[in-house]
Amino acid sequence: MTRKKTLSVIGKPLRKVDAMAKCAGETVYADDLNLPRTIYAKLLRSPHPHARILGINAARALKLDGVFAVLTGEDLPQKFGIMPSTEDEEALAVDKVRYAGDPVAAVAAASETLAEKALGYIDVEYEVLKPILSIEEALASTEESQRIHTWNRRANVQKAVSLEFGDVEGGFAGSDHIFEGTYFYQGNTHLPMEQYCAVGFYGPDDKLTLWSSTQTPHYLHRALAKVLKLPASRIRVIATPVGGGFGGKSDPFSHEICVAKLSMITRRPVKITLSREETFYVHRGRHPVKMWAKTGVKSDGTIQAMQYKTFLDGGGYSSYGLASVYYTGALQTVTYKVPAYKFEGVRVFTNKPACGPKRGHGTPQPRFAEEIQMDEIAENLDIDPLELRLKQLVEANSVTINGLQISSCGLRECIEKVAERAEWKKKFRKLPFGHGIGFAASAYITGAGLPIYWNNMPHSGVQIKLDRSGGVTIFCGSSDIGQGSDSILVYAIAEEFGIDPADIRVVSADTDLTPVDLGSYSSRGTIMTGNATIQACGKLKPLLLEAASEALEVPADDLEFADGQVRSASLPSRGISFAECVVKAEGKHGTLGATGSYWPPKNPREFKGSGVGPTPAYTFSTAIVELHCDSETGEIKIDKVWIAHDCGKAFNPLLVEGQTEGSVYMALGEALMEEQIFRKNGLHKIPSILEYKSPTTLETPEIETILVETIDPEGPYGAKEAGQGPLLPVVPAVSNAVFDAIGVRIHEIPITPDKILRALEGRLKAVSIPQFEFPAPLKWQPGEGVKVEQKS
Amino acid sequence: MLRLPEFNYIQPRTLREATKVLADLAPNAMLVAGGTDVYPKMKRGQFAPRHLVSLRGLRELKGIRQTKDGLWIGAGESLTAVSRHRVIAKRLPALAHAAESVSTPQLRNMGTIGGNVLVDTRCNYYDQTFFWRQAVGFCMKKDGQICLVAPGSEKCLAIASSDTAPVLVSLGADVILVSKQGERRVKLEELYRDDGIDYCAKSQDEVLKGLLIPKEALGLRNVYLKLRRRGSFDFPILGVAATMDLDNQGECRHARVVLTAVASAPKVVAEAATLLQGKKITKELIETVADAAAKISHPLDNADLDYWYRKRMAKVFTLRALAQLAGLELVA
Ligand SMILES: Cc1cc2nc3c(=O)[nH]c(=O)nc-3n(C[C@H](O)[C@H](O)[C@H](O)COP(=O)(O)OP(=O)(O)OC[C@H]3O[C@@H](n4cnc5c(N)ncnc54)[C@H](O)[C@@H]3O)c2cc1C
Ligand code: SF4
């Protein structure tokens, strides 16, 4: 097959395909949809974090003029949830509420104001139960009566896992120094600019259409079929452009199911837009995690063994929790050579909004612990923290002790480059008191290796249609959440066919029209949809080349797709336009279209829980943070962040830089101020965008992004992820920089000014770790001779 | 989204008309200027006026000009206009900075200085939606009986949160209040009461026409330091306004320190005048004043960041404000 040596589109800083509409305010988000005869829904939410529902009476609400329907739990009793083995959510609480904000009823009315008013006419009788609000309380509440859910084995323990790889005991025994520490990573939320919104319409054709701001239309499609008890073939889910997701729009949600059901009853389009406050209640954000980390090293700093215990505060429902708990132990081994590794993790239920995946899903927390501990090891052994890492980096084409297969690896280059740009050697431990610099490194996945529900179908599918005009349309289930997944499809086609991106149309995230893509989560988009697109183009190329070869009388193997033409590579003046070529090919072969699919490589491991961690390719990031810390006020000012990211190949460097900067920004918010916190009565403390402190552009420092390209064999054109990984090193780098500035270690985030003062006065308590008996570990060794298949 | 409840909107054309309408509708009416505090609070059910009497477009409330008494600032001037005014930017940087530190550019374009000095007191139990307040149990500031921050307290302890108020008090500003009965002029500081509900001594039918900053104040050194998490758009969780005048020998002729967000009213630190006036400013002296500032600060667990921290910062900020005015270097 002809394959161009140089790339003409990939690697260019092109404008995103949807950029102009967004800048002009013309993007049609879910809340901008206005179908004729639309009515409006509102959810009645529980004021109690934990209560039994003794009775609900909606009669008074139904009598109001303009109220069309009211739903309660018994109308939608089917449980659902994103992970098939932990489906424990109800669209509306059936007999129990599990957090303050848990929906108990839904109203559809002629206006939003009326729907809101009607909520006040629904009478709910509760029997208030004692809420469980912390990890410690959850673990201590072992009695049946204290259970939040009944399906799980141990009261209020959703999942406890224990895995052991290699000779951990021997590793610690053979170590010259052992480092132990406890850490706390506070929970925080995604805070997307666009609040949740969905429109449901059950049409006269007895088909349901749901428009929603969702990252996972396919999983939502399945959940709707299940809960509404409709054949999936009669449901169409359309993901509208998502105004920020970050993982928060990856579950099927109550409001989505309710508008669908309300439309089935009223036969009118039903719209719901959640308020900012409600968005805090829906949550699914970062888990608060308490951690205990232990590392054994030789006197030269080389790691002999590593052990982690993690305690996740899951909130009221499972959501992605099963994956989250495994993720808090999955990737610690992917940056440095760790010959023996043990991980124990537990996720508990508490009466708070459910946690779920937020950018980095379960990995920023242990990475925070790991990178601070590395800094402490370096400090103690008097080794430069970068040197400590450089002497034991994982290598390309290697397998970690927990069986993860690393293909490309640009970690060394990331460390060296970021150090050089930040002038690390000149600054580290040399800046005056109050001024500091800190470093951290990390690794992340490029797409989960396994789907969320077991199946052997592709993870991503595309369909391409060639038009006689020379225009190309691509259909793909992926949902653009601002990261640019629509643009990726366009760039890949433009590259393959040598045509102008402007001649390509994208139809995405519509379950009626587009082949399944599992969704915008786990940084899977570019690698999976990109590969599927290249495959589909590859199927069409022979047809096009055959036609062009005949027309031009040039052998097919001398033809290339370039500059909007199919032409002779040796004699570029001999060519026909792409449109002409399509016309000829269609005349010869009939209507032109093709599909492409992508399956990630087979899971290299085989044990329970092994699905979390494997990926087609790992990315690597390093960060250096320079900051000032006022020792009288405890205030921190970030001066600059240098971030290096091994993205494989920058599909579009502008987008990769955007994702990287966005990650840094989000990480700084988590490191310094963001907290999803609750009152003693279980109510969210600060459910507003004013009081939930998140940095704005004005608080964001200068960010210098360094892209490292390693051209991964599995990635399309070598590309790996960029949307999540760069968040990880920034948070521990802030803590390490604080130590360099003022000499105190802060093992918990957010690092607020009062904590700084406490730490300076020796009053900051060490993070306490709950008592818990983990199950006996599952022991596993990567098989002898497991080798990474080398592709070229 | 949160929706505004129904209300009558009345737009008088003159100040006289406004005072008349207000007198007629008084208990059920509320004034609205920029609406940046009023409207969000109506959405959250904290305010539920039947009628809103708008002050927008009243010429009598406009203008910033120097008069023989001092500097006149119309209550209807936007915070943007105040912060950018030539004389204010040059002579009263504390006021310019305070006005400029309120919220975001959009809100400063809408928000007025009159609305700012009269802005409602704040509390994390009160500045919440109806749903939230109902869930937590209403407090006495709205719909309830007790104080949730200090359940033993007889009065509401919501926090004075205006940025310009402490600065204007430190400058000795007067306010001009107009009602159907006529006009009166009082010291701004006399307008405030240390009571989170009844925080303002203005009667319901009075309109704040404007502020007058005395001529002498234009010659004072002045500064405003604001504590908050984000420089971009947070309310003060502590504000320290200070003014000072030194003679040629460096002796202090005048010193005033006013705190905000430490009680339900701006607090004057009396020690600034008693300890500093007639003396050469030293580090020790201002430290004593700073200690006094911390002493009268009573932050509670109803705003951002720990209250012990905010109390501690009252000292640090007062020290820094005074040192800056006196030109002292504070070496730690
Ligand atoms: C997100 C956000 C952040 C904010 N941050 C800050 C901040 O950092 N610092 C700060 O000080 N404020 C802040 N505010 C509050 C508010 O925006 C400002 O105080 C603003 O100056 C209020 O002015 P306004 O004209 O909008 O007042 P309005 O909302 O119109 O009125 C406020 C009050 O004053 C009364 N009033 C207004 N004008 C008159 C008059 N001429 N005579 C008599 N009564 C009158 C009204 O009846 C009402 O009680 C913030 C508000 C928001 C929403
Ligand atoms: S201080 Fe007390 S009474 Fe006042 S608003 Fe807060 S909780 Fe309510």
| Residue that wins the pLDDT comparison between B331 and A49 | A49
The preferred substitution site among B122, B133, B141, B145 for testing ligand 2, maximizing ligand atoms within 8 Å of CB, is B141
Facing residue for A632 by CB, picked from B124, B231, B332: B332
Structure tokens at A648: 């494989």
- Tell me which residue has its CA closest to atom 5 in ligand 1: B103
Q: Crossing angle, helix B283-296 and helix B307-326, to 10 degrees?
A: 150
The whole-angstrom separation of Cα A484 and Cα A757 is 42
Phi, psi angle pair for A404, to nearest 5°? -90, 135
> CB of B328 within 8 A of CB of B280?
no
HEC states along A447-503? Answer: CCCCCCCCCCCCCEEEEEEECCCCCEEEEECCCCCCCCHHHHHHHHHHHHHCCCHHH
- The position carrying tokens 């360094």 is A706
**A384-399: pLDDT as tens digits:** 999 999 999 999 999 9
* pLDDT score for B86: 97
Cβ-defined contact of B1 to A273 (cutoff 8 Å): yes
Restricting to B residues 257-286, those with a Cβ less than 8 Å away from any Cβ of A are none
3-class DSSP state for residue A96?
strand
Phi, psi angle pair for B164, to nearest 5°? -80, -25
Which residues of chain B form CATH 3.30.390.50? 220-326
The string over A280-315, giving b where at least 16 C-beta atoms fall within 10 Å of a residue's C-beta and e elsewhere, is bbbbbbbbbbbbbbbbbbeeebbbbbbbbbbbbbbb
- CB B237 near ligand 1, within 6 Å: no
CATH no., domain B220-326: 3.30.390.50
- Name the residue type at position A568: S
Q: Nearest residue of B to residue A276 by CA position?
A: B1
ipTM: 0.96
> CB of A632 within 8 A of CB of A347?
no
- Name the residue type at position A193: M
Residues of B in contact with A634 (CB under 8 A): 309
The whole-angstrom separation of Cα A137 and Cα A348 is 10
Facing residue for A754 by CB, picked from B127, B129, B306: B306
Cβ-defined contact of A698 to B231 (cutoff 8 Å): yes
The whole-angstrom separation of Cα B256 and Cα B276 is 9
The whole-angstrom separation of Cα A179 and Cα A297 is 8
Angle formed at CA A720 by CA A716 and CA A725, multiple of 5 degrees: 165
Facing residue for A687 by CB, picked from B132, B230, B306: B132
Cβ-defined contact of A688 to B305 (cutoff 8 Å): no
Nearest CA to CA, how far is B176 from chain A (Å)? 33
Mean pLDDT, range A294-310, rounded to an integer: 98
**A347-384: pLDDT as tens digits:** 999 999 999 999 999 999 999 999 999 999 999 999 99
The preferred substitution site among B142, B148, B161, B262 for testing ligand 2, maximizing ligand atoms within 8 Å of CB, is B148
Closest CA to A153 of A658, A775, A787: A775
The preferred substitution site among B44, B50, B118, B129 for testing ligand 1, maximizing ligand atoms within 8 Å of CB, is B118
Environment class of B71 (CB within 10 Å of its CB; exposed 0-12, middle 13-18, buried 19+): buried
- Taking 80 as the threshold, does the pLDDT of residue A3 lie above it? no
Cβ-defined contact of A632 to B316 (cutoff 8 Å): yes
- Taking 80 as the threshold, does the pLDDT of residue A414 lie above it? yes
* pLDDT score for B84: 98
- Name the residue type at position B71: L
CATH fold for domain B8-56: 3.30.43
- CB B107 near ligand 1, within 6 Å: yes
Q: What average pLDDT does chain A have? A: 96
* pLDDT score for A488: 98
**A567-592: pLDDT as tens digits:** 999 999 999 999 999 999 999 999 99
Ligand 2 atom nearest the C-alpha of B302 is 6
- Taking 80 as the threshold, does the pLDDT of residue A271 lie above it? yes
- Taking 50 as the threshold, does the pLDDT of residue A1 lie above it? no
Which residues of chain B form CATH 3.30.43.10? 8-56
Q: How far is CA A107 from CA A121, A258, A262, in A?
A: 10, 9, 8
- Domains along chain A? 38-129+190-282 (3.90.1170.50), 289-450+605-760 (3.30.365.10), 453-598 (3.30.365.10)
Cα radius of gyration rounded to whole Å, chain A: 27
Structure tokens at A508: 């995405």
Q: Which residues line ligand 2 (CB under 6 A)?
A: B 123, 125-126, 139-141, 147-149, 156-158, 196, 302
Q: Residue A4 — very low, low, confident or very high, per pLDDT cuts 50/70/90?
A: low
- Residue A134 burial (CB count, 10 A): 16
- CB B159 near ligand 1, within 6 Å: no
- Which of B44, B124, B132, B136 to mutate against chain A (most A CBs within 10 Å)? B132
- Taking 80 as the threshold, does the pLDDT of residue A503 lie above it? yes
**A606-645: pLDDT as tens digits:** 888 999 999 999 999 999 999 999 999 999 999 999 999 9
**A186-204: pLDDT as tens digits:** 999 999 999 999 999 999 9
* pLDDT score for A785: 37
The whole-angstrom separation of Cα A269 and Cα A256 is 13
Phi, psi angle pair for B265, to nearest 5°? -135, 160
Q: Crossing angle, helix A254-266 and helix A217-228, to 10 degrees?
A: 50
Structure tokens at A604: 């290299």
Mean pLDDT, range A743-750, rounded to an integer: 98
* pLDDT score for B1: 82
Give residue ranges of A with CB < 8 Å to any B CB: 45, 47-48, 100, 112-113, 116, 195, 273, 275-277, 631-634, 673, 679, 681, 683-688, 690-691, 693, 695-699, 752-754, 757
B131 near A CB under 8 A:
yes
Domain B59-119+159-217 has CATH 3.30.465.10: yes
The whole-angstrom separation of Cα A341 and Cα A294 is 10
Which residues of chain B form CATH 3.30.465.10? 59-119+159-217
Environment class of B48 (CB within 10 Å of its CB; exposed 0-12, middle 13-18, buried 19+): middle
Residues of A in contact with B227 (CB under 8 A): 633
* pLDDT score for A606: 87
Ligand 1 atom nearest the C-alpha of B30 is 47
Q: Nearest residue of A to residue B234 by CA position?
A: A690
Cβ-defined contact of A47 to B135 (cutoff 8 Å): yes
Q: List B32's β-bridge partners, or say none.
A: B54
Ligand 2 atom nearest the C-alpha of B155 is 3
The whole-angstrom separation of Cα A33 and Cα B129 is 27
Closest CA to A652 of A519, A462, A509, A487: A487
* pLDDT score for B330: 80
> CB of A89 within 8 A of CB of A158?
no
- Which of B131, B149, B301 to mutate against chain A (most A CBs within 10 Å)? B131
Facing residue for A112 by CB, picked from B3, B124, B305: B3
> CB of B113 within 8 A of CB of B79?
yes
DSSP-derived letter for residue B143 is B
B127 near A CB under 8 A:
yes
* pLDDT score for B329: 87
- Name the residue type at position A263: S
The preferred substitution site among B9, B15, B25, B36 for testing ligand 1, maximizing ligand atoms within 8 Å of CB, is B36
Cβ-defined contact of A112 to B1 (cutoff 8 Å): yes
Structure tokens at A141: 């509440």
Q: Residue A5 — very low, low, confident or very high, per pLDDT cuts 50/70/90?
A: low
Q: Residue A782 — very low, low, confident or very high, per pLDDT cuts 50/70/90?
A: confident
CA of B111 to the centre of ligand 1 (A): 6
- Mark the ranges of chain B whose per-residue pLDDT is less than 50: none
Residues of A in contact with B235 (CB under 8 A): 690
**A649-705: pLDDT as tens digits:** 999 999 999 999 999 999 999 999 999 999 999 999 999 999 999 999 999 999 999
The whole-angstrom separation of Cα B152 and Cα A262 is 47
- Taking 80 as the threshold, does the pLDDT of residue A710 lie above it? yes
